[in-house]
Structure 1
Amino acid sequence: MPDRSESLERWRRVLTVSWALVGVLILAAASVFALVRISPALVPFGLALVIVFLLRTPVAALERRRLKRGAAVAVCYLAILAALAVLGLFIVPPLVDQVRQFLGAFPGYYDRVLDLWGQVQRQYSAVAWPSWLDDALVGIRDGLAEQLASWSANLAKTLFSVGGGAVSFLLNVFLALVVAFWLLKDMEVIKREFVALAGPKRRDEASIVIGKVSTVLSGYLRGQAIVSATTAVIVTIGFTVLGVPYALVLGLLAGALNIVPWFGPLVAEVISAIAAAFVSPWLALWAVLVVIGAQQITDMFITPRVMSEQVDLHPVLVIFSLLTGAALAGIVGMVLAIPVAAIAKGLFVYYFEKWTDSSLATENGALFRSAVPCETDDRSAMTDEER
């Protein structure tokens, strides 16, 4: 009888966990559906969270210098406004001019690509191609021509509607700055309230989970911003020295595309090579080498220092997360794949070690290597009540 009762109890627990998982999946699906429906209204809040995670470290540093939290946030905002003023005076005017020139030269690129294809076709017309290869090349040519025409039409539509999009973007940025200010100012209070929602028995666990998630997200965003900015600066300087057309535009594009791992730098190399190829084939090669060199410099010297301690993922997990993110949500999924995977790995390791009372992550591990312990911003910052 005892064995039978233990077996029934075990099956009861299994069924309870199974139904709980089904409920969680249903709740997750409903949440995703709701988020998709209201996603336009959430844009300023998403931007606000990015601002919060980027500024929480400098705000905490100013707080340690005995500034009140509101004053620390105001100082960071003044620094941002000063940086935007400098960009508006010295970076934006030449950037706008180069973008205008680049868009004006786009139809010429299209015509020259077709002329180049015609020259290659005439030069090798005497070669006895297999019929299937000739058909394939003709199909590729027609497909490229159709795709380029489609891109040109879409580009024209985008430029025609860019005014309304710019107004909407500026409005979202303004709302994001307002929301981020209040979130940063009351961050400690909001964190205590979220921890309190877990109940007295779960407060320590909730505090640890919130700390892990916020540490990974803030570390990833800060690191990605530094890596992208460094890539943009190196590429812009290199292209300017080499004489690559539209160096500033291509440099900023390389920095922005660096957010998408692997695929982004490859696209930047192709675009840069096309822009430089119409000056000289050797310049196209040098342009590709500059982008690759900038990527290697950031990967070897910048990324390990600013991201490894916060987002410590094995290459196998990185590849799996990128492919999964791309399959689920395309480019957006690839951008979000690494921080989501890092958070999931950190929570899995925490709960596994808690439930099994054993160590899984080690400093010399592979899939479950532990990050270097560091003091988080939340521990070092003091609230006004604590002072």
Structure 2
Amino acid sequence: MDKIFKKLDKKYLKICIYAAITVLITGGIAMLFLLSGPFWSKLWAISAAVFRPMIIGGIICYLFLPIVERLERLFNKKKKHKWARPISVLLTFGIVIAAILLILALIAVAIYKNVESLNIESIKNLFFKLQADYTAIWNFVAQQLESYDIASDNISHIVTAATGAVTSFFSGLLFGVIFSIYFLLDGNHLSTYWTRAFRLIFGQKAEDNIEVFLKDADKAFSGYIRGQFTDALIVGVLITIILSIVGVPYAIVVGVFAGLGNLIPYLGPVVGYLTLVIVCLPTAAFDKMIIGIIIFAIVMFIDGNIINPKLLSDNVEVHPLLVVAALIGGGALGGIAGMLVAVPCAALLRLQFDKYLMRTEKRRLDEMKEASSKSKGEHRNKA
């Protein structure tokens, strides 16, 4: 037996032992996942429940941080105060909440003022007719659901699932706001702590690479998202003012939805046109609808060729084809939220790819120079 072991190559024997151990460990992990499926599914559910509000809080913190820092600098202009940061965070959330309430109030006032233009009697007659034909309508809805393989008995389950999804969304948003407040208040200490932990675990070089990547990501995301919000605000205000002047009904509602739609490239005009048609049809204001469509076309042309490029001129340029591809991919992966972040993600990927090309080109040039210097040295030695 000893002779057999002496004849074996110890190097290859060690490699075979490592390979066998790796296969056994991999098989054991696979069996663990197969045998403990419910445990991992519960662990995933708990992780998703915890990390979802943290991600939402991080996004809110990222968007509100410039306002908080500007207010803090304003309070600390003459002397540094401990209360500057908390007051800045409180004022930022107050400004955002006040802006949301103001928009909702304007929409409510616009609807209240314009609802008198509708024929109330026709609405009442339509309501009574629908009430009388309730059975026929329900049967029609049930037939349509069955055509999509949805049994009418499952409607309660669908409603329950939808209610649960809405409740989960608002609870996640609430906890996300709480996380964002803590991130804004104690962000510097958290950043210092985790930067130090990352450096100690992965080394200084990895920290430097991550720092460069995060700066690139901030350049792509901050400029694009904040620029899009500014652009949406400008478009919404312009459309609201102009439509109000020409007398289009629900001008504030149309302007708000047009501005929100403008957050996503190529979607703003579609949302604006649809909202304009919806608010003009009940009152039969076809002349105002045509005028509104013309105004939309003019405003969107000015925005696409002057306002938006000016706001985003400092960011990484993205080709329109890449924008369309990113929007399709983002919509398929994450819906509206995916479309919102698709373009800055594409800009970041392009920036990283450009840097990779520059590093490769520099390395090739250095190799060529080194080879050229070696060949010249060999020629001199021969001479």
Structure 2 counterpart of 1:79: 91
Aligned pairs, how many?
A: 286
Provide the residue aligned with 1:315 in structure 2: 320
Pair 1:233–1:190, CA change in 2 (3 A): farther
Map 1:327-366; keep pairs closer than 5 Å.
327-357=332-362
Calculate percent identity across the aligned residue pairs. Answer: 22
Counterpart amino acid of residue 83 in structure 1 = I
Cross-structure match for 1:52: 61
Q: Deviations over 1:105-164 (max 9, x none)?
A: 79989x99xxxxxxxxxxxxxxxxxxxxxxxxxxxxx9xxx89xxxxx9xxx89x96996
Distance 1:234 1:307 in 2: 19
TM-score for the superposition, normalised by structure 2: 0.60
Query: Please, what is the CA RMSD of the aligned residues?
Result: 4.5
* Matching residue within 293, 298, 305 for 2:303: 298
Going from structure 1 to structure 2, the CA distance change for 1:106 and 1:316 (only over 3 Å counts) comes to farther
Map residues 1-387 of structure 1 onto 2, 5 A cutoff.
Answer: 39=48, 41-61=50-70, 62-63=72-73, 65=77, 73-84=85-96, 86-87=98-99, 90-98=102-110, 168=171, 171-172=174-175, 174-182=177-185, 184-186=187-189, 188-189=191-192, 192-193=195-196, 196=199, 197-277=201-281, 278-357=283-362
Aligned partners of 1:191, 1:294: CA distance in 2, in Å? 46
Which residue identity is paired with 1:44?
P
Structure 2 segments unaligned to the other structure (5+ residues): 1-42, 127-139, 146-154, 365-383
Distance across 1 between alignment mates of 2:44 and 2:300: 35
Evaluate the alpha carbon distance shift between residue 99 and residue 58 of structure 1 in structure 2; reply closer, same or farther with a 3 A threshold.
same
Relative contact order, higher structure (CA 8 A, sep 6+): 1
Flag structure 1 segments of 5+ consecutive residues without an equivalent. 1-33, 113-141, 148-152, 360-387
- Determine the C-alpha separation between the residues in 2 that align with 1:67 and 1:225: 33
Deviation of residue 352 (structure 1)?
Answer: 3.1
Query: 1:59·1:76 contact (CA, 8 Å) conserved in 2?
Result: yes
Contact 1:236 1:250 in 2 (8 A): yes
**Residue identity matched to 1:201:** K
SS at match of 1:245: coil
Contact 2:52 2:172 in 1 (8 A): no
Structure 1 pair 267–102 and aligned structure 2 pair: CA distance change class (3 A):
farther
- SS of 2:314's equivalent in the other structure is coil
Report the Cα distance in structure 1 between the residues aligned to 2:212 and 2:119, rounded to whole angstroms.
52
- The answer to which structure has the higher helix fraction is 2
CA contact (8 A) 1:216 1:311 kept: yes
Structure 1 range deviating more: 59-68 or 320-329: 59-68
Greater Rg by CA: 2
Q: Structure 2 vs 1, CA of residues 351 and 298 (structure 1 numbering), >3 Å: closer, same or farther? A: same
